[in-house]
Structure 1
Amino acid sequence: MTRSSKTAFLEPDAASCSLPGRRVFITGASSGIGAALARRYAARGCELGLVGRRLDALQGLCRSLPGQGHRIYALDVRDRVALHVAARDFLDSGPVDLVIASAGISAGTLTDAPEDHTVFQAIFDTNVLSMVTTFEPFVAPMRARGRGTLVGIGSVAGVRGLPGAGAYSASKAAVRAYCESLRVELHGSGVRVVTVAPGFIATPMTARNPYRMPFLMPVDRFAEQAVRAIDAGVSYRVIPWPMAWVARLLRLVPDALYDAVAARRKRKPRMGEHP
């Protein structure tokens, strides 16, 4: 069934999930972290609204999930109108308890390469502005109910800038600051804001990295730990835990030392480059 935006596709089932009132809206659900979180919440009996760019991937994921009542929305999260249509459709079926903004893209970028400007823009639009767009329709209903959780997926890459990753590192630093601001704005409303910062997780996004990835974690194990953090309502959590210590240490390293070490690190390939 197609709604007002030609990019939004919905596939509702007849029955609701086995745990009434537990409804979860996830962007970036076509693959990687978003798909793994969808599997975890579906296994709990939740009713899901799944957003992603690839209709075939969403349909395959939905068919593999336990439970019923799941809806899929094939759209680009940079399309604010389409994303809001999807959010309103899911809200029309009942209150939403949890929103996870997991959509994200990554690519190497160089400031002195004029052709990379459009890549910078795409990364910021997808990783930061689409998170704002995702949360917008849900804040007022959650405030009115006095409960709900908004989750932003950040990254350890946002702790310090990495060579050749100016767009991605900056976007993930912005995610942390944005979610912190939102958490303060919603303080006392009953609406929680959780930031989950993955380290290196085995997903299609990291598969092209040409450098060593310490503490690389399977995506389903990450999802299990992320769900625990969301359940606990933590404000900020790095997963896996060894990367949390690395992140803390990185913040303490003097700039001169960090620059000398990081400058020798292999950079992430740019669009069209081979690792």
Structure 2
Amino acid sequence: MKPLVFITGASSGIGQALALRYHQAGWRLALVARRVSEMQAWCQQQGMSAETTRCYQADVSQVDSILGAAHACMTDMGVPNVVIANAGISIGMDTSIRQDLDVLSQVLSTNVVGMAATFHPFIDAMKDRAKTNGSASVGTLVGIASVAGIRGLPGHAAYCASKAAAISYCESLRGELKPQGFSVVTLAPGYIKTPLTSKNKFPMPFLMSADDFAHQAYKAIEQGTSFKVIPTPMAWAARLMRILPDALLDRAFKNQPRKHRAP
């Protein structure tokens, strides 16, 4: 039987591009999103058959919702070989405004708790499958973080905090699960041309298409890369940002436009 990949946030952007890349590679697809009708229409346009592709409606910020989709996937299609926790949101915030504390909670629930909830139901199932098959390789868990998780950016407090947490969470998970045969991959996209970034009103260096990102991400996942910033020029910029003194970082971002707040 063809291998199976489970992808959240698959109705647009990076998730959709990853779904297409895995489809082209011959994988079966379990696709999850809140906007399931849009996802189903796109699958039909791509010629994806019901035998190889299933769409599930879920909101990763609601734990029981994503758990339900995961269990439905395992009932319908079996245990995935690769699980990609891609669903995420990016909303600017201002800590001086009361309602933006709710924005922070929403972003953390989606980008961090949602990632953990996406992985949770598959861990024991993957271990049981490996034990039954006598396989040393258990499965691959992929967390889509962001280069924004490396340093905090003005107006991006919620998003940067959530992606920094996602990076650390996946690193912790890798330490826990690698001895058991799991591969845990953390991908940190730079600026990718998606609906998420289309509203940004500030420069986006090294902007790349979602399809190009998906191609590089697929290779990194297949190789079991522990952490990768995509694209490569952004990886070098990320290394510089890590070591840049605070005074220089503050000066660099002094006049940068803030991330837009939600209406």
TM-score between both structures, scaled by the size of structure 2: 0.93
Measure how far apart 1:95 and its partner are: 2.5
Aligned to 1:9: none
Aligned to 2:91: 107
Which structure has greater helix proportion?
Answer: 2
Q: Could you tell me how far apart the structure 1 residues matched to 2:230 and 2:54 are? A: 28
Aligned to 1:131: 115
Measure how far apart 1:35 and its partner are: 0.5
Aligned to 1:210: 201
Aligned to 2:133: none
Q: Could you tell me how far apart the structure 1 residues matched to 2:45 and 2:174 are? A: 34
Q: Could you tell me how far apart the structure 1 residues matched to 2:185 and 2:167 are? A: 10
Residue of structure 2 aligned with 1:245, choices 236, 239, 263: 236
Per-residue CA distance 1:59-99 (angstroms, 9 max, x = gap): 11221333533111122111211211111111123221000
Aligned to 2:126: 142
SS in structure 2 at match of 1:250: helix
- 1:1-275 to 2 correspondence within 5 Å? 20-65=1-46, 66-67=48-49, 68-92=51-75, 93-144=77-128, 145=130, 146-272=137-263
Preserved CA contact (<8 Å) 2:5 2:82: yes
Unaligned runs of 5+ in 1: 1-19
Aligned to 2:134: none
Measure how far apart 1:143 and its partner are: 2.2
Preserved CA contact (<8 Å) 2:8 2:31: yes
Q: Could you tell me how far apart the structure 1 residues matched to 2:214 and 2:252 are? A: 31
Q: Could you tell me how far apart the structure 2 residues matched to 1:235 and 1:210 are? A: 32
SS in structure 2 at match of 1:40: helix
Measure how far apart 1:108 and its partner are: 0.8
Q: Could you tell me how far apart the structure 2 residues matched to 1:166 and 1:61 are? A: 33
Q: Could you tell me how far apart the structure 1 residues matched to 2:2 and 2:179 are? A: 22
Preserved CA contact (<8 Å) 2:140 2:183: yes
Q: Could you tell me how far apart the structure 2 residues matched to 1:84 and 1:21 are? A: 23
Measure how far apart 1:21 and its partner are: 4.0
Measure how far apart 1:147 and its partner are: 1.4
Per-residue CA distance 1:112-138 (angstroms, 9 max, x = gap): 111111111110011000000000001
What percentage of residue pairs aligned between the two structures are identical?
Answer: 50
Q: Could you tell me how far apart the structure 2 residues matched to 1:61 and 1:44 are? A: 18
The runs of at least 4 aligned residues of structure 1 exceeding 2 Å deviation read 64-69
Q: Could you tell me how far apart the structure 2 residues matched to 1:43 and 1:61 are? A: 15
Q: Could you tell me how far apart the structure 2 residues matched to 1:75 and 1:154 are? A: 20
Per-residue CA distance 1:44-72 (angstroms, 9 max, x = gap): 12111111011221111221333533111
Preserved CA contact (<8 Å) 2:178 2:184: no
Preserved CA contact (<8 Å) 2:57 2:69: no
Measure how far apart 1:263 and its partner are: 2.3
SS in structure 1 at match of 2:179: coil
Aligned to 1:4: none
Q: Which amino acid aligns with 1:72?
A: C
Q: What is the RMSD computed on CA atoms of the aligned residues?
A: 1.1
Q: Could you tell me how far apart the structure 2 residues matched to 1:243 and 1:156 are? A: 8
Greater mean alpha carbon deviation, residues 87-96 or residues 234-243: 87-96
SS in structure 1 at match of 2:56: strand
Greater mean alpha carbon deviation, residues 82-91 or residues 238-247: 82-91
